[in-house]
Amino acid sequence: MNEQALSPGAREVIEGVVDAVRAGDDVRIDRLLEQLVRIGSPDVLYELRRQLANGSESP
């Protein structure tokens, strides 16, 4: 799965979730996850999982 294959909107939501997780902003996480569910693409969920896993390695 290539991040470039995702729509700009999907990439923006994924980046928002990663930022919200780092900040511990539960309300924002919930709102953004609802948007990802509406997108409904397994590729989007795969990319979110990949970025969250990579994000856990950075400070």
Per the CB < 8 A criterion, the answer to whether 4 and 23 are in contact is: no
With vertex at residue 43, the alpha carbon angle to CA 55 and CA 8, rounded to the nearest 5 degrees, is 75
C-alpha distance across the termini of the chain, in Å = 25
**Could you give the CA distance from residue 48 to residue 28 in angstroms, rounded to a whole number?**
15
Is the pTM here over 0.85, yes or no? no
Please state the rounded mean pLDDT for residues 26-37. Answer: 95
pLDDT band at 43 (very low <50, low <70, confident <90, very high): very high
